Structure 1
Amino acid sequence: MRSAWPSSLAVAALWASRFVFARMPYKVQTPPLDTDWTYTVGTDPWPEHPRPQLRREAWQSLNGLWTWRAAASPDDVGSPPKAGPLDREVMVPSCIESGLSGLQILNVRDMWYETTFDVPSDWKGQQVLLNFEAVDYEATVFVNGVEKTSHVGGYARFTINVTDIVKFGGTNDLLVFVSDPTDAIVIPVGKQTLNPSHIFYRSCSGIWQQVWIESAPEDHISRLDVAADMDGLMTVNVLSSVHKGAKVEVKVFGQNGSEIASQTGSADEQFAFTVENPDLWWPDSPTLYNLTVTLGDDEVNSYTGFRTVFKGKVEGVMRHLLNGEFVFQFGTLDQGYWPDGLHTPPSREAMVYDLQVLKNFGMNMLRKHIKIEPDLFYEACDRMGLLVIQDMPALSASKTPNDEEQAEFQRQLELMINEHKSYPSIYSWVIYNEGWGQRHSDPAPEGGLTEVIRKLDPTRLINSISGWDDHGYGDYHDNHNYAHPQCGTPFYSRPKTPYDPERIGFQGEYGGIGHNVSIEHMWNVQAAINTIPETYEINEDLASYSYRSMVLFRDLREQTERYACSGAVYTQTTDVEGEVNGLLTYDRRFMRPDLEQWQEDIQSLYEAAVSRGGRPVGSGKVKNWVCVHLWRGSCVIDAPIEQAALLRHNTMQRLQATRPRSSMSSKMTS
């Protein structure tokens, strides 16, 4: 821990510098490609409460315009800045490499952020918690000149108790130093790189998810773990900040807002109780129940869904089972990149739009690919009925971690599990993708990591290896084969092992058929454009694209009928930089597939699964998945309720309108 600033004069000098030096004002920088949301974000981004499963009423967003400066020298790193004021405005949250940040600066590894915030006077007597949802990669935080903490990890949240140093009813200074090594060391980075090339993309550095403060009692709930199964059994663990063993109470509310169950227990000790005859959570009927949890004077709002995920044999074939039934899972590889915001979607509306597209196609699943999204993403999946395969962000694909780096990978893997294991939509964890950052040792590293996850979260399945370098661990035998599926079949290429009948046959990635579009829909960076020929398959027109996609659906359907295919992940939701194999282009303005044909083909996969003992298609009552916030039986959206149906209709119309007839050729011109 570094010492605090030497005197109050230093704090005063930094504060005065705001007024002495002119700052470069914020302006959206023109990205290589924009979206319909780029220039509508404004200066109050992401106003929504960021933690829907641990929500208190007293909170305040710190998002918006902060000041920023790159660290000027080694002496300007990690301690209060010595090289002058922070002289540029930046949007928080955002990646500094993005147009939305107002900077669009590449290859800056060390940087300073600053803002001020007021703490309401009526919070006095309570604890003030400062929350960061994600900072990439290492953050050192100073409040009113006092260094409070350092945090390592680009995808995990952290909370700082700043009660002892804030001014109630007054203005407080918040200074953050961020260092992001990206390629310099072996850390979880996903697909980020300083040298983008085809399937590896522009990096994201800085404060890229929300920052906020909240008020809580001294003894408050620091984490809430909830699991609810198909038999109505709720298992709860309420972690306390101070008093282990303190009394806690959980209340469950039904669809009409009435209390249907309650239970008391002790903090930091897991306890369980039963809710009688709950409506189960299904993709076509994603019923959720609201909760209030009380610890002393602290009360938080949350929610859960009753569902059980496990594996078992159906008609002699090992399957993943949801609520005891084989549900064929089909969705996309969802990378979550945006041309204007990179890792950070322009808004919740934009983020949810992608999910609406998948639901409109009739998909019931997505694979969140080596990236962790804001919690609001998983809440939207819970409410829409989209199953989520959650990947651990990968280590470098070209480097092997040493012992220390492997231990750090495991630490961050455990953080991911603990932070997200209460979201009903997440049903499977992925440890390694295609051997990236996987040590070649005996025993194989995924064996121990699989057991770590089993202990942390016994309620989900584990895909230890997605792609190859498979040593038999986990619940899935996962094949990646572009552009021909090999899903639970007696023929195989990668992984170079035959299908294991004691695990679930799964096509973790396939498809990837590409189609060039005109430059206005392209990431206009020449290095990315140069890599387009690396796409697994290029179709010169939409007619051939439609034909090839139908062939792939036919192969997958027949492998479901004949062999042991239980689900598949199509690559991918959108284009990303030099990849042109998305259902939508990177700007989300152009759709390649014939929507009606894909809806029919996807439905045929579900029907093929029914012929092998799968759950009948449409067994559940389809709910209004536009509903984003459900509290005590009332559906609340950010627009009048009559606009909910219009939103779904407009999404359908937009998708249909942006796709030209398949007879039209749409070749890229540069």
Structure 2
Amino acid sequence: MLDRLAFPNPQQIRQEWLDLNGQWDCLLVENENDYIMPPTADQFDRQIQVPSSPTFPVSGLDLTTYYPVIWYRREFAADLQDQQRALLNFEAVDYECDIWLNGQHIGHHRGGHTPFTLDVTNWLMATNELIVKVVDHNLTTQPIGKQSWKDQNFLCWYTRTIGIWQNVWLEFTGEHYVTSFTALPEIHRASLNLDLELDAPAAVEVRATARYAGQLITTATVSVKNGRAKFALDVSDNQANFRLHYWTPETPDLYDLSLEVLDRGQVTDHIDSYFGMRGIETRGHDILVNDQRIYQKLVLNQGYDRHNGLSAPVAGDAADVDKIKEMGFNGHRLHQHVGSHRLLYLCDAKGLYTWAEMPSPFEFSPTMMANFQAELPAFIAKHINHPAVITYVLMNESWGVNEIAHQPAEQAFVDGLVDLTKAYDPTRLVIGNDGWEQVKTDVATVHDYDNDPDRLTASYPDLKTTYEGSPSQTSGRRTFCDGYQQQAVPFILSEYGGIAYEENAQANSWGYGDRIQSKTDVVAKIEALTQAVMAIPNCAGFCYTQLSDVEQEVNGLLDHDHRYKIDPEQIHAIFTAEHQTGFVFD
């Protein structure tokens, strides 16, 4: 069986590849204009672990002084065969970078959270020098998410990330290859809709093969037109109980998919992928997955690790997914960061509903709008083929659109983002501005950190009160901006809880509400608040804050090292006490 986690992108596997992670030379610079051209090899005076941010211990630097510019350098050997192409992949570099290979400038990229690929065939040699210049001023017009733009951390904003913070690798293909593809399920037709873009002339063909548990389901070969192949596979199967092997958190069934590019019968590119047959839609105030009403029990996942920051190792991500499920949640909200390819695969394989969230900027301006829109297509492309991803969140709590309740320009911007996202991916739910002051949205969401259980339930007596007023006792913000209240969409309490607890309280740590000293009292408070939330009528789910402690914020169910603070069986009993659905087959 293919070990997908052994590859940097488990959903797009090419067997011939070279890992470029590890120790790189680096040079830290305060002024980006100090070196217009790359420094010489002897000027790189430090080493850094890639992927990582130099602001965290795993980097080997653990800087307390922020440098806005980092130069990276490493040497590597490559054996490029005749008729091969070489593709250099960066999963994420924060924020802006330039790349040189063997003295030649080969690319520029802007956007700190999303992948990009460069065809480096023409510059690759047997022995290579790769240099990357990264510039990140952490401006409020950039999508920065939870990174503090001040000199110090504050409230719920944390240590900055800079540099090459996700995987780097080189992969090899034949002369003609797939540059991107989408594989979108349509459960009501039992089909998989494929759309491939290729670096190839019209003379080549694409062959797609779907299998389930090693058994052939179907195969099809189509011609490429204008560098594109678009077609559908019938993936119905008599061995399935109900025509399809549906993906759900309880049964995260995945099909294997192989994609091949054929040039006069010869394979020039082969990708091993997978897909899940999962549909999602809203009907009135319900959310349906595979035509069945669901109740979402999410946990807020900030993605930070004490030693790695956002560059969590795959073992840490796997442990987090297991713990989330062990505690009784059926999903998580990847809050204000973009998870790695491997994490998204783990959510698919283990069965975890995932809300994918664009990191927020914090200042509305033409520059901010341009930066956000420039990175949005790559954000969607990273998530579009993952069955676990059911919702996109574009803005959070009016960050970056702080006057959206009163400014038509900010409303128009978020409305446009919702429409643009649906144009790129019409198969998922989209939330324009999560938490309050919403405009266009598929789900009405509210953030409420009230720690009085009775008052929490009473704040949401019916949907009319929720949608037309300001029900949250902690934010006081309106759920919708004027003119948007009449949307017939489901309601989710997408943040609550936030109970602070640490056995040895630190002076600068914080959480929502009064600090509770006893672990027994913490469990009781979590239970009371969760019972109150699950008693809210016409509510389609919740998101509890939060999975783990993060730096000064200690309201996690796990501590800073992602160890349980509380017996997971106790937590599981709380979150599974109500709203359990589905048949049980012994």
TM-score by length of 2: 0.88
Q: Determine the structure 1 residue equivalent to 2:199.
A: 241
Counterpart pick for 1:604 among 557, 577, 582: 577
Map residues 196-215 of structure 1 onto 2, 5 A cutoff. 196-215=153-172
Counterpart of 1:365, as a letter, is G
Q: CA deviation at 1:419?
A: 2.0
> Which of 458, 474, 484 pairs up with 2:441?
474
Q: Relative to structure 1, is the Cα distance of residues 144 and 274 closer, same or farther in structure 2, using a 3 angstrom cutoff?
A: same
TM-superposed deviation, 1:204: 0.8
- Displacement of 1:534 in angstroms is 5.5
Whether 1:576 aligns to 2:542 is no
5+ residue gaps, structure 1, are 1-45, 520-528, 608-615, 622-670
Give me the whole-angstrom Cα distance separating, in 1, the residues matched to 2:141 and 2:120: 32
Aligned AA (1:186): T
Note if 1:585 corresponds to 2:553.
Answer: no
8 Å Cα contact 1:388/1:425 also seen in 2:
yes
Whole-angstrom distance in 1 between the partners of 2:361 and 2:48: 29
Asked if 1:223 is matched to 2:180, the reply is yes
User: What amino acid is the match of 1:190?
Assistant: G
- Contact conserved, 1:47 with 1:61, CA < 8 A, in 2? no
Shift in CA distance, 510/83, structure 1 to aligned 2, threshold 3 Å: same
- Please name the residue that 2:122 is paired with: 164
2:392 pairs with 1:419:
no
Q: Are the equivalent residues in 2 in contact too, given 1:72–1:83 (CA < 8 A)?
A: no
Partner in structure 2 of residue 367 of structure 1? 333
Where do 1:171-190 residues align within 5 Å?
Answer: 171-183=127-139, 185-190=140-145
Displacement, 1:449? Answer: 0.9
Report what 2:415 is aligned to: 447
**In structure 1, how many angstroms separate the alpha carbons of the residues matched to 2:177 and 2:400?**
38
Q: Describe the SS at the equivalent of 1:337.
A: coil
Whether the 8 Å contact between 1:62 and 1:212 is mirrored in structure 2 is yes
How far off its partner does 1:56 sit? 0.8
Cα drift, residue 112 of structure 1: 0.7
The answer to whether the aligner puts 1:338 opposite 2:305 as a matched pair is yes
Moved more, 137-146 or 80-89: 80-89
**Offset, 1:579:** 0.8
Aligned-pair CA distance for 1:186: 1.0
| Partner residue in 2 for 1:134 | 92
Specify which of 393, 396, 410 is matched with residue 430 of structure 1: 393
How do 1:55-66 and structure 2 match up within 5 A? Answer: 55-66=13-24
Residues 449-484 of structure 1 show CA distances to partners (whole Å, capped at 9, x for unaligned) of: 11111111111011112111213x111110100035
Instruction: State the partner residue of 1:273.
Output: 233
> Do the aligned residues in 2 keep the contact of 1:512 with 1:537 (CA within 8 Å)?
no
1:298 aligns with 2:262: no
Q: 1:578 to 1:245 in 2, by over 3 A?
A: farther
Where 2:540 maps in the other structure, the secondary structure is strand
> 1:69-218 residue pairs with structure 2 within 5 A?
69-71=27-29, 73-81=31-39, 85-105=43-63, 106-121=65-80, 123-167=81-125, 170-183=126-139, 185-193=140-148, 194-218=151-175
Instruction: Describe the SS at the equivalent of 2:531.
Output: helix
How far 1:74 sits from its partner (Å)? 4.9
Give the 3 Å change call, closer, same or farther, for CA 238–340 of structure 1 in structure 2.
same
Question: Displacement of 1:376 after TM fit?
Answer: 0.4
Amino acid at match of 2:303: G
What SS does the aligned partner of 1:448 have? helix
Rate the CA distance shift 1:73–1:548 in 2: closer, same or farther, 3 A: closer
Q: Give, in whole Å, the separation in 2 of the partners of 1:405 and 1:85.
A: 35
**8 A Cα contact 2:345 2:386, kept in partner:** yes
Letter in 1 for 2:69: D
Q: 1:476/1:73 Cα in 2 relative to 1: closer, same or farther (>3 Å)?
A: closer
SS at match of 1:282: coil
1:496 match = 478
Aligned-pair distance for 1:245? 7.6
Q: 1:214 to 1:533 in 2, by over 3 A?
A: closer
Cα drift, residue 174 of structure 1: 0.5
1:408 aligns with 2:347: no
Counterpart check, 1:547 vs 2:515 = no
Contact 2:498 2:511 in 1 (8 A): no
Aligned with 1:378: secondary structure? helix
After superposition, residues 515-664 of structure 1 pair within 5 angstroms as: 515-518=501-504, 529-533=506-510, 535-559=512-536, 563-592=537-566, 594-607=567-580, 616-617=581-582, 619=584
CA deviations 1:40-92 (Å, max 9, x no partner) are xxxxxx98311111111110101111111113655433421269521111111
Q: 1:285-324, aligned counterparts within 5 Å?
A: 285-296=251-262, 297-313=268-284, 318-324=285-291
| TM-superposed deviation, 1:542 | 1.0
Q: Which amino acid aligns with 1:535?
A: Y
User: Residues 507 and 565 of structure 1 are in contact (CA less than 8 Å); yes or no, is this contact kept in structure 2?
Assistant: yes
What one-letter code is carried by the residue in structure 1 that aligns with 2:74? T
**Cα separation, 1, equivalents of 2:32 and 2:17:** 37
Q: In 2, Cα distance between the equivalents of 1:68 and 1:496?
A: 48
Partner Cα distance (1:56, 1:264) in 2 = 20
Contact 2:32 2:135 (8 Å CA) reproduced = no
Q: Percent identity?
A: 28
Tell me which amino acid in the other structure corresponds to 2:489. R
**Which amino acid counterpart does residue 220 of structure 2 have in structure 1?**
Q
Residues of 2 paired with 1:437 and 1:554: CA distance?
34
| Alpha-carbon offset, residue 263 of structure 1 | 2.1
Whole-angstrom CA distance in 1 between matches of 2:97 and 2:52:
15
Q: Who is 1:509 aligned against?
A: 495
The AA in structure 2 aligned to 1:597 is Q
Cα distance between partner residues in 1 of 2:27 and 2:450:
46
Instruction: Tell me how far 1:380 sits from its aligned partner.
Output: 0.1
Is 1:283 the counterpart of 2:252? The answer is no
Q: Is the 8 A contact 2:95 2:134 kept in 1?
A: yes
The Cα of 1:351 is off from its aligned counterpart by 1.4
Distance 1:72 1:389 in 2: 36
Query: What is the aligned partner in structure 2 of residue 659 from structure 1?
Result: none
Equivalent residue, structure 1, for 2:9: 51
**Counterpart Cα distance in 2 of 1:569 and 1:266:** 46
Aligned alpha-carbon RMSD (Å): 2.1
- Counterpart Cα distance in 1 of 2:551 and 2:202: 49
The alpha-carbon distance between structure 1 residues 550 and 501, as it changes in their structure 2 partners (threshold 3 A), is farther
SS of structure 1 residue aligned to 2:122: coil
Q: State the number of aligned residues.
A: 541
Aligned partners of 2:287 and 2:490 also within 8 Å: yes
Secondary structure in structure 1 of the residue aligned to 2:75? strand
Query: In the TM superposition, what whole-angstrom CA distance separates every residue of 1:326-354 from its partner, at most 9, and x where no partner exists?
Result: 11110200010011011101x21111111
| Cα separation, 1, equivalents of 2:388 and 2:354 | 6
Cα deviation, 1:284-328, whole Å, max 9, x if unaligned, reads 000000010111221111000001001113xxxx11110011111
Q: Determine if contact 1:328/1:605 at 8 Å carries over to the other structure.
A: no
In structure 2, what is the Cα distance between the partners aligned to 1:620 and 1:236? 34
**Secondary structure at the residue paired with 1:537?**
coil
Q: Which amino acid aligns with 2:283?
A: G
1:358 and 1:211 map into 2 onto residues whose CA distance is 28
What amino acid does structure 2 have at the position aligned with 1:307? R
Which amino acid in structure 1 is aligned with residue 113 of structure 2? Y
Report SS of the residue matched to 2:121. coil
Distance 1:64 1:148, change over 3 A: same
